[in-house]
Amino acid sequence: MGEEWRMAEKKRLPPWEEAKLVLKMQEETRKRKLLEKDMQQRQGWAKRVGPNTSDELEENRKRLRTLQKRIEDEDDR
């Protein structure tokens, strides 16, 4: 029984080493959560890249025609 107790003592880390290990694990957890949050935001942005409704599409077509006309007018000068 005394032998088992000594083995357990050898495996224990000093308190400062244990604290460093806990801090490192917490930092890794925090980084992982930030990365997951960032990935979720990127997925949300990817879904909303272009216009989704026909009204938005029509509005963009009008804006495009207006810009094309303005460019042609400037070229004619």
Question: Mean pLDDT, the chain, as a whole number?
Answer: 82
pTM greater than 0.75 = no
Residue 51 DSSP SS3: coil
Q: How confident is the model at residue 46 (pLDDT cuts 50, 70, 90)?
A: low
Instruction: Provide, rounded to the nearest whole percent, the portion of the chain with pLDDT above 70.
Output: 75
Q: What is the DSSP annotation of 14-43?
A: PHHHHHHHHHHHHHHHHHHHHHHHHHHHHH
Closest to 68 in 3D by CA, of 76, 55, 49, 50 = 76
- pLDDT score recorded for residue 6: 57
Domain locations in the chain as residue ranges:
2-76
On the question of pLDDT at 55 being above 90, the answer is no
Q: How many angstroms separate the CA atoms of 20 and 9, rounded?
A: 19
Q: How many angstroms separate the CA atoms of 4 and 23, rounded?
A: 29
Q: Which long-range contacts (CB under 8 A, 24 or more apart) does 47-52 make?
A: none
- pLDDT score recorded for residue 50: 61
On the question of pLDDT at 11 being above 80, the answer is no
On the question of pLDDT at 48 being above 70, the answer is no
